[in-house]
Structures are given as C-alpha cells and as structure tokens.
C-alpha cells in the first residue's frame, strides 16, 4: 500500500510555470504522477504541457478533484501558498521551497492543522511511493518498490540510502523527506505512525541529523508504540558546535542536538544506529531477516 500517496493520487502544482516547478512537474509526470492542474497567478486559462493552469487554488479545486499539492513557489510567497492550499481543502500539501521565515511557518503549521490538512516540509524533497507516484524532487531512478519505509530530515542522504538499498534488491514502500527547517509540518513521529499502520511496510529507516530533539522523541515513540523494526542513521558526528550544517535546523546549541546524543537515545531503546549509509543496508537485512 505505502503511505500518503498512491497511483491514483491527483496532484496540483503551485508555481508550475517557474523554472523549478516546470522542471519537476515534467519529472513527476514522467514517473506516472497524475498531475491534473497547475496554479500561477496571472496565467489562468493557459496550460503547461497540456496541464491546465489556474490563477488560484480555489479555482483549480472547483474544476478538479485534487488530493495533493506540490509547492514550488518562491520563499516570499510560499507561506501564503501553503495557506491557500489548506483553505481550499487539499489534504496533503508538500512544500519544496526553502528559506521560508520561521515566524511565518509558526502561523502556517497552526492553520494547516486546524484545517485538517497534512503538511510535508518545507525545505524537503517530497514523497515517493516507488512504482506508484511521486510528489516532489526525489530522483526517479534510485527507488524501487519494496517493504522498507524511509523517513528523513536530509534529502541527499535519503537518495543515497535508498540507492544502496535498491542496489541490493531491497525496495521501498514510501520515502518521506520531512525537511530540515526548525519548523516543519510533519515530524518523525507523524510519519512513523503511518508506517506502523501500513501493511506493505515491514521495516523503517529513520535518517536524522544534528540539531533539535526530534530524533530523541522519535526513539521514545518507537519503543512505546512500534512493533516493526526501525534502524537509524544520524548525520553529523563530526559537526562542530554552533555551526549550522546544511539545514537551518541542523545546528548544535547549548550542548543539545549532537549526533552522539541522538545515537545514544536511539540505541538506548534498542534501535541500531548506523555510522555509514552502507551499514544501514546491513541493519535492514538483519531486520528483514534476509
């Protein structure tokens, strides 16, 4: 089955005529994603590669059944784009845009939750259910269908770990990049809950990084609520305190958020933590008894 998206998921692309939106809309459609509409204010009535364009999300929703939105809107407009999608009743919103101000995201996350929508991101690579559908920028060729769910704060590490699993014949049920910003719409726990309920998913890989305490909270949830095996990888064992590494949320401050602390919290709950992406494959093999 997989989680969040499947072969029948219908998708809207906000910012479809921009350079990023147009490029990735084509890649998504090549993968088989059912893109039914796009939104670019001022370009309503036109089309992109046969996909109708609307001025507003409300107009698109009125004309089409839309399950999910992919947002490729510039940072200064992205918060409003997320709110527009939520207010139009779209249940899954995937925001690829980075550099959205934290104070804007505090409001956005609250409103999206009130509207009953689920936000993935921002500053994330998106979601893919291999062989079924993709919403975001994940590279098509590194994923294959299978029993392993992946939830990750890092885009490039997601691709690397998925590629190594695929290379040895271990496919993925769904891969979710939750984003690396300080304020994001869906946490590790939110996605782990979905994997726990998913019949296709037999094991889960959690990919974390320095900064914050999300991995520590996830460790407690896994020990308390999950019956499926989980293995982890934490990036940043050599990261110096006080220096942001890649993502806005990847910074060690006040002695919290180190890779060592996260690994200790996970391992204390019986969750093996790989020190290299290749070791993730070994741990997954053991978890699946391959």
How many C-beta neighbours within 10 Å does residue 157 have? 21
The beta strand positions in 30-171, using DSSP E, are 34-39, 47-48, 51-54, 68-71, 92-95, 118-120, 126-129, 133-136, 145-152
Section 216-225 average pLDDT: 96
> Is a pLDDT exceeding 60 seen at residue 18?
yes
102 and 224, same domain (yes or no): no
Which pTM does this prediction carry? 0.94
Is 199 found in the same domain as 96?
Answer: no
What pLDDT, in 10s, does the model give residues 141-180? Answer: 999 999 999 999 988 999 999 999 999 999 999 999 999 8
In this prediction, residue 30 carries a pLDDT of: 97
Higher pLDDT, 132 or 290: 132
Q: Is the pLDDT of residue 26 over 80?
A: yes
- Which range (77-91, 97-111, 228-242) has the least confidence? 228-242
Q: Which of 120, 149, 178 is the endpoint of a domain? A: 120
User: Tell me, what's the pLDDT at 146?
Assistant: 98
In a domain, 130, yes or no: no
Distance CA 66, CA 247 (A): 30
Supply the mean pLDDT for the chain: 93
Which residues carry out catalysis? Answer: 247
Distance separating alpha carbons of residues 232 and 204, to the nearest angstrom: 8
Q: Within a domain: residue 127? A: no
Residue range(s) defining the domain that contains residue 42: 10-120
């Amino acid at each position: 089955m997989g989680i969040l998206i499947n072969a029948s998921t219908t998708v809207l692309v906000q910012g479809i005529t921009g350079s990023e939106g147009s490029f990735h809309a084509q890649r998504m459609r090549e993968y088989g994603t059912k893109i039914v509409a796009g939104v670019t204010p001022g370009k309503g009535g036109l089309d992109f590669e046969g996909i109708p364009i609307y001025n507003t999300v409300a107009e698109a929703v009125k004309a089409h059944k839309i399950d999910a939105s992919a947002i490729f809107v510039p940072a200064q407009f992205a918060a409003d784009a997320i709110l527009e999608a939520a207010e139009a009743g779209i249940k899954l919103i995937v925001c690829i845009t980075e550099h959205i101000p934290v104070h804007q995201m505090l409001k956005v996350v609250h409103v999206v939750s009130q509207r009953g929508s689920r936000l993935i991101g921002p500053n994330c690579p998106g979601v893919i259910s291999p062989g079924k559908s993709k919403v975001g920028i994940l590279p098509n060729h590194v994923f294959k269908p299978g029993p392993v769910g992946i939830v990750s704060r890092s885009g490039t590490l997601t691709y690397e770990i998925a590629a190594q699993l695929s290379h040895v014949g271990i496919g993925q049920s769904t891969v979710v990049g939750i984003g690396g910003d300080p304020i994001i719409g869906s946490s590790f726990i939110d996605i782990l809950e979905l994997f726990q309920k998913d019949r296709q998913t037999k094991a889960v890989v959690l990919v974390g990084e320095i900064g914050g305490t999300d991995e520590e909270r996830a460790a407690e949830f896994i020990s308390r609520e999950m019956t499926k095996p989980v293995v982890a990888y934490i990036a940043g064992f050599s990261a110096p305190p006080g220096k942001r590494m890649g993502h806005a949320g990847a910074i060690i401050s006040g002695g919290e958020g180190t890779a060592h602390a996260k690994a200790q919290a996970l391992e204390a709950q019986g969750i093996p933590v790989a020190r290299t992406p290749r070791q993730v494959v070994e741990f997954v093999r053991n978890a699946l008894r391959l």
